[in-house]
Structure 1
């Protein structure tokens, strides 16, 4: 008998305040409202009305009739529902209590923490999410899905070490080769369930595409595709907002959702839960995922969050900010993947999707993020044990970053902290270094902005790249040693 394992990712971020500007006298208790946008409540209520409420009511009806599915609910979503839409949260609680559903684990903040070199923060957020699921729904997830299905060998090993029974990721062709995603595989000793990309995206992205040769997609047609698919189990995983938000009610998406369970049943397709999949099906082979994959964009990698220089700058800065994270929750809210997604600079269909989801353009998203992060660190410098070293190493807002130039103007490189300044010294053209040294720009930035007179004096007048790098590196490493 064919089997379908259907799951939904449900998440809302706390979007950053697009109009943020530092307010030094602002009290700590008011920081959250200063950093994050009032738009969040408006969006949450809109999505609840258009998607969460109607879709979940349909799901509850179908669960009573024998349908089965799973949900992955982020911690930031639960927080927003508690504050702004408790009736919607009650619907999810009813779903979670149903015998035909299963809650899946993820990071509490829907974060990029699994990409950090140190996995301790990732582990902590997974534990926090598990505690939240238990507090609200009295269950602890046994199956895991990382943020946007981000996955590699190291993630698999870490999740196995946390005693999960299985993990979801994307059925990426370059990982599978000739093999089908419709089987359970194994990676680093943990069973892996692979999303069937084509059949999932038929609903998520092609349902409203009038140029698609299978438009309009009906529940009976889709159920037949599932029934005729070879393999042990077809894993369909969707962003829950597909229903009513991405695909509006007028498209017939709710009629499709309401009809699908019955059409599947008529064709003998059994709906199963993720824990049943790993209990019933032995892995048919190993997958080796050295290069990180995800379900994002056509590339199916991390380029949605770390594909350009802006994103890389923000990614390295948020890792370094752990030292400044006196206020852990705000540091963790800033790890949410959406912030980095908004900074993407992609074109074509992927670029259109990024634009659809973002509430401001990529450059503004980056500048807002760096201003908030810089303010967060600067506030915490005041209460750190070694304030002088912390101030020199802190992340800077765009207005204070060092922007490399040459005789003809800006050359496209910038340094938002001393770590990045050293990195840029390896790659910027030599004529840029000579230009800045002649003008004593390095000296003034380090002395006046980073407030490290000793380093400023030591690099003054150095003309050789390797000597300049060595001086910065030695001082930077000493300063970091003061903060450990």
Structure 2
């Protein structure tokens, strides 16, 4: 029987590309900041963020603020790209978000700042970025960050040791059978080093994340008393369930009853004397066992492995572009250009290509996340447009590299 429940919600919105790009040489950017404005579609991103903020972020954060006034505890992660867009969006979201994140009942879970594939590509830079994220969270929200879920709960032996060396106390992973085995997805585990491993209860999370409004599900409709009992019956010290924040209001709209469900769920857990907790408060408790991180990376996305991001040739091609452009940007030794390359590595860009040569629910989700404005251009144009982004930026990196080769040359610009 679970002695406590931990809720984890991830706040992230990607920076969508401008497709097609204006690739004429006369309009090429001169600085890293100009490149960011050139490659990413600020108007499109603002439009998507506004709609989701109204349907999900504001109402769900308002509900969380209401519940934490009644001894509710929650764990929230946010990417830096989400925070940047929230600042641009402004009120009423911004002040609400700050109030909630600074509340003592909220644990901030660290995520890779741009929700990128960096953990797979460069472990040394990954450590630097995670330390940077921790400092930024401390400065912005006056909260220390000791637990992380990286990107999409990426989990491997390399990532485990990278996070341990970066000074974190625990990492979140998806608690599927191939991760936790017969030991089960409830509790806090030891790893091979000092970093603890906290599995997300995969099936109980997906009962809400994927199945809540699915009328063909044999447990539909899901009521708060039933779900509270399922959480209570999970064996172990802490049952951790986690979702994308957009689960509430965007993936499952208000009309499905998702907000009322969460409000009542707190009452049902109280009635069963099962507290909600911040995960850091359970790190000194008993451990459920020992887990050995896999050599092959796992994730909470799709079927649990990297096939969700790299399962077709178009995804693999784009992934190779990401690596090439990133390493080329590193050669410039210019922080601004490296930052643009890191933004180009957001996992969302590969998520949006999962539909290629695929069918079924996962492909449908991928198509849903691909901007509707792109579909008017056609499949082939989407693929060409994504590749063009990397080709154009790669060509643009030639100039700062030439400046490194000819240090006495008057630079055209400075990032």
- Would you say same fold, with TM above 0.5? yes
State the partner residue of 2:20.
19
State the partner residue of 2:165.
161
State the partner residue of 1:123.
127
The Cα shift of 1:379 comes to 1.3
Q: Using CA pairs below 8 Å that are at least 6 residues apart, which structure has the higher relative contact order?
A: 2
Q: Does 2:102 correspond to 1:97?
A: yes
* Partners of 1:281 and 1:111 in 2: CA distance: 33
* Partners of 2:327 and 2:243 in 1: CA distance: 36
The Cα shift of 1:163 comes to 1.0
* Partners of 1:8 and 1:282 in 2: CA distance: 23
Give CA-to-partner distance per residue, 1:203-262, whole Å, 9 cap, x none: 111000011111111111111111122222111011000010110000001101111111
Does the 8 A contact of 2:124 with 2:162 survive in 1? no
The Cα shift of 1:142 comes to 0.4
Does the 8 A contact of 1:342 with 1:365 survive in 2? no
Q: Which moved more, 1:366-375 or 1:347-356?
A: 366-375
State the partner residue of 2:280.
275
Taking a change above 3 Å as real, the CA distance of residues 364 and 134 of structure 1, as seen in their structure-2 partners, is farther
- Measured on the aligned residues, the alpha-carbon RMSD in Å equals 1.8
Q: Specify which of 295, 304, 316 is matched with residue 300 of structure 1.
A: 304
Taking a change above 3 Å as real, the CA distance of residues 383 and 249 of structure 1, as seen in their structure-2 partners, is same
The 5-angstrom pairing of residues 394-473 of structure 1 reads none
Q: Which moved more, 1:359-368 or 1:31-40?
A: 359-368
Taking a change above 3 Å as real, the CA distance of residues 180 and 304 of structure 1, as seen in their structure-2 partners, is same
The Cα shift of 1:114 comes to 0.6
* Partners of 1:200 and 1:242 in 2: CA distance: 11
Does the 8 A contact of 1:176 with 1:287 survive in 2? no
Q: Specify which of 78, 81, 90 is matched with residue 86 of structure 2.
A: 81
Q: Does 2:334 correspond to 1:329?
A: no
Q: Does 2:70 correspond to 1:70?
A: no
Give CA-to-partner distance per residue, 1:368-416, whole Å, 9 cap, x none: 222111111111202313899xxxxxxxxxxxxxxxxxxxxxxxxxxxx
Q: Specify which of 335, 359, 370 is matched with residue 358 of structure 1.
A: 370
The 5-angstrom pairing of residues 29-40 of structure 1 reads 29-37=33-41, 38-40=43-45
Q: Which moved more, 1:210-219 or 1:319-328?
A: 319-328
The Cα shift of 1:175 comes to 2.6
2:341 aligned counterpart, secondary structure: helix
State the partner residue of 1:435.
none
1:65 aligned counterpart, secondary structure: coil
State the partner residue of 2:402.
385
With normalisation by structure 1, the TM-score equals 0.77
State the partner residue of 1:341.
351
Q: Specify which of 126, 137, 142 is matched with residue 138 of structure 1.
A: 142
State the partner residue of 1:441.
none
State the partner residue of 1:202.
207
2:77 aligned counterpart, secondary structure: strand
Give CA-to-partner distance per residue, 1:290-334, whole Å, 9 cap, x none: 22110111x201112111222222212222223432412211110
Alignment gaps of 5+ in structure 2: 406-415
Structure 1 or 2, whichever has the larger Rg, is 1
Does the 8 A contact of 1:153 with 1:188 survive in 2? no
* Partners of 1:178 and 1:135 in 2: CA distance: 41
* Partners of 1:311 and 1:126 in 2: CA distance: 25
* Partners of 2:318 and 2:105 in 1: CA distance: 41
Give CA-to-partner distance per residue, 1:399-453, whole Å, 9 cap, x none: xxxxxxxxxxxxxxxxxxxxxxxxxxxxxxxxxxxxxxxxxxxxxxxxxxxxxxx
* Partners of 1:290 and 1:32 in 2: CA distance: 34
* Partners of 1:119 and 1:348 in 2: CA distance: 34
The Cα shift of 1:364 comes to 4.2
Taking a change above 3 Å as real, the CA distance of residues 365 and 72 of structure 1, as seen in their structure-2 partners, is farther
* Number of aligned residues: 386
Give CA-to-partner distance per residue, 1:267-305, whole Å, 9 cap, x none: 1111111111222232522334222110111x2011121
Q: Specify which of 183, 190, 197 is matched with residue 187 of structure 2.
A: 183
The Cα shift of 1:157 comes to 0.8
Q: Specify which of 382, 388, 400 is matched with residue 371 of structure 1.
A: 388
Alignment gaps of 5+ in structure 1: 389-484
State the partner residue of 2:224.
219
With normalisation by structure 2, the TM-score equals 0.89
2:7 aligned counterpart, secondary structure: strand
* Partners of 1:126 and 1:387 in 2: CA distance: 28
Taking a change above 3 Å as real, the CA distance of residues 313 and 160 of structure 1, as seen in their structure-2 partners, is same
* Partners of 1:212 and 1:323 in 2: CA distance: 46
Give CA-to-partner distance per residue, 1:151-177, whole Å, 9 cap, x none: 011111110111111000101212322
